[in-house]
């Protein structure tokens, strides 16, 4: 069954401010409803490093400033660095934690041990490379649960709603902590006695070892498992984001950094998602087309595009619903892309819902939260402060969601619409950061010059480069000189317009 809702929200400035105050609470856990956060550093354990030294373990706890809720969900987000470097204070970890804390979470970034003993044969120590961080992550989770039960719940958390996650090596650690939960599973990697001097498989490095380290879901950004078969029916959900051109942690199968050692090759997010689905474990994978491994070249807006997609699925978990039901929602409507008589036209987005039984409930949230709504259609004037518009739809124990990128006043000259679908033409990744790849099937099999042009939303040409092509054009161009916003890309051969595409660049 498919239904389309028709409710247009219009409001003046005065009642808009009233609506924002009243309704933004409905967007908690989706939109940053708090303006600032506090950060506290907590000592949660100690452990022995690869050099035999004692390492004191700390975690930074981010909380929404001014929040009065007494039972808040927790997101643990661990840094990456290939198990040889990285810190809980890395800029992207701080940014992710701030984003989630502003949305109402308590976000935690923990220490864990890194390092490789290059004097030892790698095949003998690889298990310990993975296991030390697992012990430290266990200790962090245990401390949070002990604080709730024994120490007065200093951070007002709900220990039944702890999300375990991270990026790159941190994501690998989170996946292994939650899914490699049997000694027999880790024994597939080698001789389990290698862990004896670390306390054995079921040990942790925290001060409160009697608590469990199980979370409510795993957040996996560019991570992998040694064996995705460790995921079993009844396991907790996994929410993933991964670039399909990742050369460090494979999107599908491969070695770490593209080097295969055989004994610990990795199965990336695509395989994790496929295995989870096969086993009946709820899983979501946001595939970043053409994107390599996360790096410093990815700006804050890129991080936000990942964070908000994760947050939409995490919201379903928080509400006790599944994001893997047949229920589905899509945001339709392209009236954001209108420029008439040099004036902005109010944008209209329409949700289409399928798989429901006629009782679906919708919730719109702009990100940041400037407006909300609960009908199937929403109208608003594009604003440069907006980044995204999210819509959630729930029915019974199911919840689905979609995200529309705004980023800037997402408008382009109306006259280009006739060129949008002339040829088979794609650009990726979308949104783009440092580079964008253009792929187009040309109508005739002949050599000709093709110019790639990029225009701003008011029609100003901001980029042009000529390439030689025959039947197919596939080129990569730099977008580092473009500011965040929406653009029109046009392909031209001599005076003939071959096609056009709307693109988004974020920093």
**Maximum average pLDDT range among 123-132, 143-152, 190-199, 466-475:** 143-152
Q: Which of 252-266, 330-344, 367-381 has the lowest mean pLDDT?
A: 330-344
For the residues 127-131, what does the mean pLDDT come to? 89
* pLDDT value of position 71: 97
Q: Is 274 a residue whose pLDDT tops 70?
A: yes
pLDDT per position as a tens digit, 279-313 = 999 999 999 888 888 877 666 777 888 999 999 99
pLDDT for res 123 = 60
Provide the pLDDT for residue 480.
81
Please give the pLDDT value at position 91.
92
Q: How confident is the model at residue 304, as a pLDDT?
A: 84
Q: At what angle do helices 169-179 and 122-150 cross, to 10 degrees?
A: 70
Of 310, 80, 238, nearest in space to 173 by CA = 80
| pLDDT computed for residue 325 by the predictor | 93
Distance CA 398, CA 96 (A): 27
Contact 414, 336 (CB under 8 A): no
| Rounded average pLDDT over 48-65 | 95
Q: Is the Cβ–Cβ distance between 309 and 241 less than 8 Å?
A: yes
User: What pLDDT does residue 13 have?
Assistant: 29
Tokens of 11: 């409001």
Whole-number Å distance between alpha carbons of 277 and 228: 11
Check if 2-23+325-405 and 414-505 are the same fold: yes
Rounded to whole angstroms, how far apart are CA atoms 79 and 166?
6
Confidence band of 507 (pLDDT split at 50, 70, 90):
low
Q: Which CATH number applies to 31-293?
A: 3.40.50.1820
Summarize pLDDT for 163-218 with one digit per residue, the tens. 999 999 999 999 999 999 999 998 888 888 888 889 999 999 999 999 999 999 99
- Helix ranges restricted to H, 319-378: none
Strand 157-167, strand 72-78: pairing: parallel
Retrieve residue 66's tokens: 């001014």
CA distance 153 to 139: 17
% of the chain at pLDDT higher than 90: 54
What would the mean pLDDT of 120-146 be, rounded to a whole number?
A: 88
pLDDT at 1: 32
Task: Categorize the per-residue pLDDT at 275 as very low, low, confident or very high, splitting at 50, 70 and 90.
Answer: very high
- pTM (2 d.p.): 0.79
Question: 136 pLDDT exceeds 80?
Answer: yes
More confident residue, 393 or 115: 393
Distance set, CA 432 to CA 245, 305, 450, 464, 504 (Å) = 14, 11, 21, 17, 6
State the maximum Cα–Cα separation within the chain, in Å, rounded to a whole number. 75
Confidence of residue 417 (pLDDT cuts 50, 70, 90): low
Please tell me the predicted confidence (pLDDT) of residue 421. 59
What confidence tens digit (pLDDT) does each residue in 385-394 have? 667 899 999 9
- Residue whose pair of structure tokens reads 């990815």 in the numeric block: 298
Tell whether the model's pLDDT for residue 398 goes beyond 80.
yes
Helices (H), 6-117: 13-23, 91-102
Architecture label for domain 414-505 = Sandwich (2.60)
Q: What is the arithmetic mean of pLDDT over 396-411?
A: 75
Question: What pLDDT shows up at residue 457?
Answer: 60
Residue whose C-alpha is closest to residue 383's, from 413, 410, 350:
410
Q: Where are the domains of the chain?
A: 2-23+325-405, 31-293, 414-505
Contacts for 269-274 with beta carbons within 8 Å, 24 or more apart?
A: 269/220, 269/222, 269/223, 269/224, 269/240, 269/241, 269/242, 270/242, 270/244, 271/224, 271/225, 271/228, 272/175, 272/220, 272/223, 272/224, 272/225, 272/228, 272/231, 272/238, 272/240, 273/238, 273/240, 274/228
Question: For the domain with range 2-23+325-405, which CATH number is right: 2.40.50.1070, 3.30.465.10, 3.30.559.10, 2.60.40.10?
Answer: 2.60.40.10
Q: What is the mean pLDDT of residues 101-111?
A: 98
Q: Which residues of 115-135 are buried (b: 16+ CB within 10 A; e: fewer)?
A: eeeeeeeeeebbbbbbbbbbb
Q: Under a CB-based contact definition with an 8 Å cutoff, are residues 31 and 365 in contact?
A: yes
pLDDT given at position 332: 78
- Coil/strand/helix, residue 29: coil
pLDDT of 36 strictly over 80: yes
Average pLDDT over residues 346-352: 83
Question: In the block, which residue shows the tokens 């069954």?
Answer: 1
Query: Does residue 270 contact residue 243 with C-beta atoms inside 8 Å?
Result: no
From CA 286, how far away is CA 270, in angstroms rounded? 10
| Choice between 438 and 482, residue whose per-residue pLDDT is larger | 438
Rounded distance between C-alpha atoms, residue 274 and residue 469, angstroms: 37
pLDDT of 11 > 60? The answer is no
Q: What percent of the chain has pLDDT over 70?
A: 84
Q: What is the rounded average pLDDT of the residues 260-273?
A: 85
Q: Which residue has the higher pLDDT, 98 or 290?
A: 98
DSSP 432: B
**Per-residue pLDDT reduced to its tens digit, 423-480:** 778 888 888 878 899 998 887 778 888 989 887 765 667 888 989 888 888 999 988 8
Computed over every residue of the chain, the mean pLDDT equals 85
CA–CA–CA angle 398, 402, 406 (5° rounding)? 160
What is each CA distance from 190 to 187, 229, 261, 399, 497, in whole angstroms?
5, 16, 13, 41, 60
475, 402, 466, 485: which is closest to 440 by C-alpha? 475
């Amino acid at each position: 069954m498919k239904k389309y809702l028709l409710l247009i929200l219009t409001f003046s400035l005065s009642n808009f401010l009233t609506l924002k105050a009243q309704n933004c609470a409905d967007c908690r856990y989706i939109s940053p409803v708090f303006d600032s956060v506090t950060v506290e550093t907590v000592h949660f354990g100690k452990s022995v490093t690869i050099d035999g030294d004692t390492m004191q373990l700390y975690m930074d706890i981010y909380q929404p400033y001014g929040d009065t809720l007494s039972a808040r969900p927790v997101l643990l987000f661990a840094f990456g660095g290939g198990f040889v470097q990285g810190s809980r204070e890395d800029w992207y970890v701080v940014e992710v934690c701030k984003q989630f804390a502003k949305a109402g979470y308590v976000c935690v970034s923990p220490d864990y041990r890194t390092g490789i003993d290059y004097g030892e044969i790698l095949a003998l120590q690889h298990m310990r490379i993975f296991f030390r961080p697992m012990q430290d992550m266990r200790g962090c989770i245990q401390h949070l649960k002990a604080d709730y039960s024994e120490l007065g719940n200093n951070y007002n958390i709900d220990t039944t709603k702890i999300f375990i996650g991270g990026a790159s090596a941190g994501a690998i650690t989170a996946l292994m902590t939650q899914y490699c939960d049997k000694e027999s599973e880790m024994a597939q990697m080698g001789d389990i006695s290698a862990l004896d001097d670390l306390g054995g498989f079921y040990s942790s490095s925290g001060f409160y070892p009697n608590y469990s380290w199980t979370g409510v879901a795993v957040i996996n950004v560019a991570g992998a498992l040694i064996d995705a078969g460790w995921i079993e029916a009844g396991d907790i959900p996994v929410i993933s984001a991964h670039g399909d051109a990742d050369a460090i942690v494979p999107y599908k199968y491969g070695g770490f950094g593209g080097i295969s050692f055989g004994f610990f090759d990795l199965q990336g997010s695509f395989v994790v998602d496929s295995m989870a689905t096969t086993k009946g474990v709820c899983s979501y994978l946001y595939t970043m087309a053409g994107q390599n491994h996360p790096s410093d070249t990815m700006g804050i807006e890129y991080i936000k595009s990942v964070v908000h997609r994760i947050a939409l699925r995490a919201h379903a978990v928080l509400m006790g619903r599944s994001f893997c039901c047949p229920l589905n929602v899509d945001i339709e409507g392209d009236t954001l892309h209108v420029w008439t008589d040099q004036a902005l036209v109010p944008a209209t987005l329409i949700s289409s819902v399928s798989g429901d039984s006629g009782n679906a409930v919708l919730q719109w949230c702009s990100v940041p939260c400037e407006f909300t709504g609960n009908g199937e259609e929403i109208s608003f004037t594009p604003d440069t402060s907006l980044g995204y518009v999210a819509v959630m739809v729930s029915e019974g124990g199911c919840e689905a969601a979609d995200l529309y990128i705004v980023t800037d006043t997402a408008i382009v000259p109306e006259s280009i619409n006739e060129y949008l679908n002339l040829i088979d033409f794609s650009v990726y990744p979308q949104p783009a950061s440092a580079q964008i790849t253009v792929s187009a099937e040309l109508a005739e099999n002949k050599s000709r010059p093709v110019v790639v042009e990029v225009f701003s939303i008011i029609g100003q040409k901001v980029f042009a480069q000529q390439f030689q092509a025959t039947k197919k054009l596939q080129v990569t161009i730099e977008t580092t000189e473009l500011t965040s916003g929406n653009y029109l890309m046009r392909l031209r051969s001599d005076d003939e317009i071959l096609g056009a595409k709307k693109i988004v660049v974020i920093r």
